Amino acid sequence: MTRLADYQNRFKFIRFRREDGILEMAIHRDGGTALWDFGETGIHKELGDAFYEVAHDRDNKVVIFTGTGDTFLDSLDYGDPTGSIALTPQFADRLYKEGKDLLHNLLDVEVPVIAAINGNAYIHSELPVMADIVIMADHARIADKVHFQGGAVPGDGVHVIWPMLLGPNRGRYFLITGQELDAQEALRLGVVGEVLPGDKLMKRAWDLARDIMQKPELVRRYTRVALTQHLKRRLLDDLGYGLMVESLAMMSAGKD
């Protein structure tokens, strides 16, 4: 069985701490706000691998997923000063595998997951809103800035999650226009469950986790299983297809 000691110090961009069965995992860059990158050892790969390890550690009873500082994730690191990416079939194949791991492995975490959105979430914002309980700092905004607005097909899961949360028409509007939802609008639309001052966010996340811990273990675990089954089914049907058309469009960019 996987143990925390096996992976706690394995990941460069993810920080873990566990207390009384509650695992907090926070994305970061050098201890500060996280940056998203697609390097072969970057956070795109690390996070999918980390969810796998967390899912296979039976000592994790509740998971809190959050960022670092006052921003969750709003900036990209392209890995070189020109900001260029070699859009080769090999690169697309790697992103296809990592993209599936990222979302499938998150849903394979069979304990309740709490997301604490500590600030602006503009990149892979579908990840925190896939949690069972989503709470948000009052200064935070949520959007999808990196796909259609960045010249890419919104196909790596956002095309499934956001229309499910917002409804088909509003979800498509959100993805195509890059619409930003402030915390109160996200609450009104049902994207998040609570909005709190930033300095009270993590305390609330831990209070919720400790409350969940009062329930019997199999109640906790099987509630997560029951409530994510439909998400797993939708992603199994549509995620691979979305990743493939996203990659194809990226490789064809500039060749029209």
- Report residue 256's pLDDT band, with 50, 70 and 90 as the boundaries: very low
Q: What is the pLDDT of residue 77?
A: 86
pLDDT in tens, 163-204: 999 999 999 999 999 999 999 999 999 999 999 999 999 999
Domain range spanning residue 196? 4-252
Whether residue 5 has pLDDT greater than 60: yes
- Report residue 254's pLDDT band, with 50, 70 and 90 as the boundaries: low
User: In which residue are the tokens 């009270």 written?
Assistant: 200
DSSP state at residue 2: -
Distance CA 61, CA 20 (A): 9
pTM of the predicted structure, to 2 decimals: 0.95
CATH assignment of the domain containing 108: 3.90.226.10
Q: What is the pLDDT of residue 1?
A: 81
Catalytic residue among 46, 98, 126, 246: 126
Q: What is the pLDDT of residue 82?
A: 38
Locate 244 and state its tokens.
């493939």
Q: Into how many domains does the chain fold?
A: 1
Could you tell me if 118 and 100 are in contact, meaning their C-beta atoms sit under 8 angstroms apart?
Answer: no
Cα 120–chain centre separation: 13
Q: Mean pLDDT, the chain, as a whole number? A: 94
Tell how many helices (H) and how many strands (E) occur in the chain: 9, 10
Could you tell me if 138 and 197 are in contact, meaning their C-beta atoms sit under 8 angstroms apart?
Answer: yes
pLDDT in tens, 89-139: 888 899 899 999 999 999 999 999 999 999 999 999 999 999 999 999 999
- Rounded mean pLDDT, 76-87: 59
DSSP state at residue 32: B
Count of Cβ atoms closer than 10 Å to residue 77 Cβ: 15
Nearest to 192 by CA among 123, 106, 102, 118: 118
Q: What is the pLDDT of residue 252?
A: 79
Q: What is the pLDDT of residue 80?
A: 46
Does residue 46 have an active-site annotation? no
Helix (H, G, I), strand (E, B) or coil at 67: coil
Q: What is the pLDDT of residue 83?
A: 43
